[in-house]
Structure 1
């Protein structure tokens, strides 16, 4: 008999091609970034918390699982409302990081507060994701960590039940998550924490602002008035209700579909005041030929029948790079996307992956150290590899709207942040959602 447990390669998914302008009103899952931060803050709070309309996906379930393993009580069976009851954090425990950067960078500082040994490992590629600055910062605060000399997974945090706190100097130019991870745990450190970033600019500034806003909402005193310095006072965090916004990054491929097809897509449930970088997205999509409006009905993007090339520094919104690259492939003029060298250390080297996969479809695309240059020309169908990266699958789906025959090798990787993506996408394109 054969090996019944043999893993079969995923079935290719043919990205649907649009024959008409899309017209869709969608309610998408909650923000991954907000859900992850709310879970950590809730696990460290002095009382129970609820997360309303959180994101249920691989990344957030791994986050909940890691915190639960250290003792936090997590009730996440209800998709609309998760309940977190804090409990003294203890080891031994094991945290499966998967491919989640948030788990990789947010949970080790929490593990420093646990009494016992907490081990971390994840998917093979995660061992290549940078973690050294976080390890160095925690060690400088007195946290004992066993880790390879490469400063990567697998590692073990030997928690003492408390972290003295104080001041750390860190180079967070590879990921804003290094700062966010330390900030989220900092109120529970005995002396709080002062973080000083030294090095090239920290990318993804909106994510840092979200961290600070959510800390303050939980009762923490945070001073971020000095550039590249964050000071957190020690003190309790308050359990509370967290209203999780729809995920803006997850919405971007759907908005891109409006531009490609000259259609209209509305994301329901968008708040009038957001913690996510909606204004940056508005400027980018408007520059590429879209019209963006926010009303009581939701956040709406309309295509105007043309897609324009773009020259943009995406350092604040690097998650959008794959979808904007796909849009640029279908534009009427060249594009130059810069400021995203750090995404070479995301789920895969996204710059190299985008250049490789679109070139295989006939694109004229050049990678630089920190971005991509795209000169539009007709593309052809073919296999588009995702490298287990959900954003690569999103890029392929957008290109497939205008290019027949693009086969995504592993669309299931979108379960990392949106398990419903293939069904939602096909329903939007065919009008059968």
Structure 2
């Protein structure tokens, strides 16, 4: 369970507790700023201590949430500047780095450019970057930050929450980005405040979902994609389903986790919403089958090659990778574990070949890649299979039964034109 530390007025009198008494027990630090709090000047010391905690502490706060409830423009600017200072920190140890910024007011394009420059300059990894609220109502703000996330190459998970699909897909920004060729972003979440968007917005701006589907055909880095139920229609869900035939790296795609309850609608819309939800569930089931095949392919490339007889693996997390859990000060430790795992690789057992071929046959692209010999430097050696087949043929030829000359002569006569 995460220990959440909420900074409000009672803690203003003792800001040193953030860096001394309670620092080691804080997992999530939530800072809620308003005009009264900032105008009093009480937040300046807190901001400096938080930055110092991230830069120098041996057990820094891993997840910072900045909530901007200010109305005055200058106070809002100070909140954003503090968030950017936090993004620019360079911790001495390799702890997780997660940050979230929330605001109920639209972001100006100049502020979006500040975030863009910060992300492009940063050299260390950001495990999770979340931007929630009505930030992207102004044209160009989401495109500016989204391109910085892709081009910077440091953000592993990008979580966006907006009021409408209009804020995220305006102007075809997804299609113009480098999302199709990006290999650094692993998780993308596009959410809406409400369960459903305005039907006109969803219908008019579904071209953004088509661009997302086309990009998934070539994308080789994304592992998790979450879309709110109301942000995509069933027609575009089918577009996503078609694009998965060419994608072998995506491990989870969710489009119905937050679907509404049909019973809360009126009599006229209840039946229509029930059919719509049922159709989306059926499409999601087909998507899940593709995801299961991709996860099987991902494990096939990694796990069967490891010799578990040499000791248990240090990977005890829930993701489908071969890496150990990423904990404090563990950069060198994780590199050593990866080198040890490469030494422990062994070929696939011939006993499971039929089962592997049966599963991969459900997705021809995976079967082709397996028979071709793997990808990304992970080689699948089929020579043992061919050597085994050759050995069996030689054994059969060596154990040929004796036959009478009469039967052999008869078969030679009946043969097609004595050609054989």
Higher helix share: 2
Larger radius of gyration: 2
TM-score normalised according to structure 2 size: 0.29
